[in-house]
Chain A
């Protein structure tokens, strides 16, 4: 780092450590942690609520408030995923896969502590990677064109689908079903309504929030009622010990945290991709690379929680790269943060990396400090949160269902959102009951519009020869390699076992 960068880093830190800016950061953390923990209320709502305050604050104060709300949302939205199998927001869906089974095994405190700790570590790693990556990644991102982005997106859908346990075709089919659902509505580029059955509500497409709540929360609530037991099927045991174990788990899996954080940062860099898929990419990566993960993931393996939470928080560092460097918000939430920066006279793009470098550093400091503070805050209340899993279903089901209905309605303020939630509740119930995985559906829905946009642009520029571009072929090769690796590994292990037995 040059002297100018060190000066900017010190100036940025001093700016957010002023008492008023620091107090506003704490306010942002408290508001975001509380609101984001409620299903359907994401960091977007929290930022939108507080954005008008930016008009009466100075540069550092406004940035402290807005960035802290955004930076901590990924930590808090794991709470409902782990405790009730309800994603708190985009990015916390994969936390359910091992977090909820851990809660069922009486390990909610351990899962929450592991999630919060890895989230803090992921946030710090993400911020550091952001710092180091800006000069390196800028040319790399510029090299990738629409064909490569299209392949990356399709790789996401196929990878998650194919990693769906012992029935990869089922996973890929459900992923394709998600892509098909993403087709519903007015097509972005042409304005043509597709598969809308002339229903005006469907012109805007199917909302991610009601679909996610329906797909996961409704079947799990029904299963909870049918089991007649509490979420935690066993006694919670020593919650303090569970909390300590979760923290230890995170630190002992430091290498997994670093790998997942890098996955998160990389996914975050690609505009529009990061917000809802970093968790699945990290989960898929951990499933493929962790020893014995294929047997234990999905049944309450703490590594599944650690990988996801590290990646989702780290991705924010990555998402900042296109936002700050090119003025392209990496997600819709970042678009609001972008708006907040404009209000206080900071223009993302060239300016923020040159004449206002202190602002960039203050954002990086905020990412680090607020990630750590939020995790400490959440760790303090692990005991109270874990006890929610011992509530009777007769109390839990109506309260969570009531909140789910309100959260779904908040998607676009229409009763049809609740209908969508219920329809996908039924679909989720059928898929679960008949052995079809649900998560690839979400990924297909999220990535569908992006895949279509990249595909059409690629086709317009290169026609179908875009499939033969070197970058596309490399990504395709990586995809085949990742799909084949578990099979090769399985054969190798079988051969080795046979040799040992002989």
Chain B
């Protein structure tokens, strides 16, 4: 038996919440800044309600036939890529979670020790963790350091913020 509440239906409800928030929030503005949020929120609520009804109908039909064929009808998208079986496998999910941990780790590094140090270290650590050689990891980490310092800082004059720890414990 297929579930009525599919992940897609959950996303529909999240969108419904967002559009309701936009719509209700619009009433707190004066006429000029209120008009467009009213239109966007109102149209969004209507469209998502239709989508929820369609989603439920498809899930219900799919449950009735127990084949899942109807439910999958809207999965083929010309404007986006489809998810592969590798990504939904147990190993795929594990790797996905690990990648998000790396992304959040990089963000934490940027905040704590700044771009100049954390970006090259991130590249080096990621390469080492995934079985690349010391030599390759070192070279690519150094190249990234040159890109951060040379291209962005020196050439493009883009000043990166120092990390919280670097500001607390300045080197000089």
User: Residues of A with Cβ closer than 8 Å to B?
Assistant: 41, 45, 49, 97, 100-101, 160, 163-167, 169-173, 176-177, 179-180, 183, 187, 189-190, 192, 194-195, 218, 220-223, 225-229, 287, 293-294, 297-298, 393-395, 397-399, 401-403, 405-406, 409-410, 413, 415, 418-419, 422, 425-426, 430-440, 448, 451-452, 455-456, 459
Contacts and interface: CB of A to CB of B under 8 A. Distances in A.
Contacts of B136: 395
A166 B73 CA distance: 7
B87 A169 contact: no
A176 B98 CA distance: 32
A31 to B, nearest CB: 11
A62 B170 CA distance: 44
A163 B78 contact: yes
A229 B107 CA distance: 26
5 tightest Cβ-Cβ pairs between the two chains A and B: A394-B130, A165-B77, A167-B74, A398-B126, A176-B44
A95 to B, nearest CB: 13
Nearest to A218: B103
A395 B37 CA distance: 44
A80 to B, nearest CB: 15
Given A398-B122, A402-B144, A439 B80 contact: yes
A456 B32 contact: yes
Given A169-B54, A430-B11, A394 B127 contact: yes
Given A166-B76, A403-B147, 11 more contacts: A164-B77, A170-B8, A180-B22, A183-B22, A195-B25, A225-B95, A227-B92, A228-B95, A434-B11, A435-B75, A452-B35
A433 B7 contact: yes
Q: Most B CB atoms within 10 A — which of A100, A169, A294, A410?
A: A169
A183 B34 CA distance: 10
A228 B86 contact: yes
Interface of B: 6-8, 10-12, 15, 18-19, 22, 25, 29-30, 32-33, 35-37, 39-41, 43-44, 47-48, 50-51, 54, 73-81, 83-84, 86-87, 91-93, 95-96, 98-100, 102-104, 106-107, 110-111, 115, 119, 122-123, 126-127, 130-132, 136, 140, 144, 147-148, 152, 155-156, 158-161
Given A190-B32, A195-B25, A432-B83, A176 B47 contact: yes
Contacts of B99: 221-222, 225-226, 397
Contacts, number: 221
A402 to B, nearest CB: 5
Contacts of B51: 167, 169-170, 173
Contacts of B155: 49
20 contacts: A100-B81, A170-B8, A170-B74, A173-B44, A176-B40, A195-B25, A222-B95, A223-B83, A226-B92, A226-B95, A298-B78, A394-B130, A405-B110, A405-B119, A406-B148, A422-B107, A434-B6, A435-B77, A448-B36, A456-B35
Contact of A226 (B11, B78, B86): B86
A415 B7 contact: no
B107 to A, nearest CB: 6
A192 B33 contact: yes
Nearest to B7: A434
Nearest to B80: A437
A179 B40 contact: yes
Contacts of A431: 11, 80
Nearest to B6: A434
A46 B123 CA distance: 26
A97 B82 CA distance: 11
Nearest to B87: A226
A474 to B, nearest CB: 21
Contacts of B127: 394-395, 398
Q: Most B CB atoms within 10 A — which of A164, A393, A434?
A: A434
Given A49-B156, A194-B25, A227 B86 contact: yes
Given A173-B51, A434-B11, A455-B36, A425 B80 contact: no
